Structure 1
Amino acid sequence: MSILFPSRLHSTKLDVTCLQQATADQAFTNAKKAGNIQAQVDALIYRALERNSGKVGLATDLCTSIEAVNSEVAAIHQHQDPASQNATAINRAITFELARQIVAIVGNPQDALKAGTFQPGSLDDNTGKGHTCDDANDAAGCIFSQGLLVPDATAAEINAAVAGVAPADGATPSTASGSSSIPVATCPPASTVTVTISISPTGTAPSTAATLTLENLQKFSGSLGGAAAPAVTPGGRGFVVASSDSFLNLPAALGRSCDIQHNNCANVANSASGRGAGLTVGQCDQQNDACHSIFA
């Protein structure tokens, strides 16, 4: 991986949680000016790498004090410790978004798998090391040479995730499954993301493009007044609430989904049709409590 790193960052005091983003952002800018697509890809991969939290199972804070100049960098967040809460879903979502951003600059989306991290460590490990490695003399990177990288997805899932993403200049990027050689230790653990790929008979063109289906993690099924809780799916900063915002952790996203449903239910209850049907805001309150209770 070759990144055109800046010789120095601006001397203004920088929030340390934003150092990784700022470095990637400047490197991406440098690579873009040089017309070096692979260096742009490498800068995006660097942005998505896990940042050391110093403790197994501890997630690192997101950069919120500054905004990246390049939208491609702004769309990506760092991987989280694989033993941290909801890490599998969060890291998969980051890898899929990284792949989409790589396609947009006409890179190979399979390179997104290089941003993966290690096997989850034990929460009882007080050294903070987990299953990591550290070898300053390993030019390739010991996570690769020792086969310690656990990919967040398969090559087919990456291709499905970028289906329909148009490169900025209209060119067609490579999506060959074997073009990104990554030594791996094991397959990633099962997750809530499911992928449906249309496969055509030999010699014929597929009738439909491959599609990525993200499972709705909001399992509350109540819908007083016809107002269902909005879907919650992996994406964004971690989890996305349909037609709303994204959240780092799942409980926060589910809570927002429940509250949006409550507001919509109350609006129906206060309408003429709602009053005619006998729906009350009190019933909406009870439903909201039930919605929150399933993940509390």
Structure 2
Amino acid sequence: MTSPLPEDAAAAFEPLRPKLMRVAYRMLGSVADAEDMVQEAFIRWMRADRGDVREPEAFLRRTVTRLCLDQLKSARHQRETYIGPWLPDPLVEDNEEEDVTLPLMLALERLSPLERAAFLLHDVFGLGFEEVADTLQRDPATCRQLAGRARAHVRETRPRFQMEKQRGLALAEAFFAASRSGDMKALGAMLAADVSLHADGGGKRPAAGKPILGFDAVMKVHEYLATVFRENSSNLVRVGFINGLPGFITLEPDGEFSTTALEIEDGKVAAIYVVRNPDKLRHLH
């Protein structure tokens, strides 16, 4: 068989790009790195003997996954030297994405690259273990074990309490209003007793160097921030779902964006995830 013409090959690739980005982003937690992996897969697709490819989507998914496995080796070294808490790049969507939320992505960080890939391909993207095995170049029994170990690690990160979407967005709006106006009574009423605050500045913008744990400590941080916001207020850009959690984007006085995502359990804010590292926010522009 002869390969399709390059323009036909490009036309076949483009509808698959969003799906491939979903795989790459969930593997890597970085929008820029995911885009690089998908673009490299496109280059390899254009160079491949496409006449021998029966299922382009499966071929490209295998290619992207293997590229991501290689990328994770260097990414892990980068995370070890990262300044302060590391959070995945924020993906902002109008609708809630329930397959991989931000807490789940953080749990995936603790897995080996192969466990992460097996879990995502089988549990999230619904592939059979035969195809997972072909992708990871392992036998199906091994892939089943990899996914099982991963599942045991991440089981606790599945949301225990489902909140109606509009209620979640309303809580995000109320959180923004209370935190910026300095209404500590209203803010305190929203927080769980064991609330935590995780801020990712990457050493490039001010942020707490480690997670802030507990109601009193988180309230103390927001009491300080309220004095800062009185001098230099941040502007609400939009409310939406950030990595599957209700949250909001703000434009800060320094001209940079910031995102805040709220993990909600039993109607209370259990965790606050703030991304301030400008490298992780470029795609929002």
**TM-score of the two chains, using structure 2 as the length reference:** 0.30
Higher strand share: 2
Higher helix share: 2
Query: Relative contact order (C-alpha < 8 Å, sep 6+): which is higher?
Result: 2
**TM-score of the two chains, using structure 1 as the length reference:** 0.29
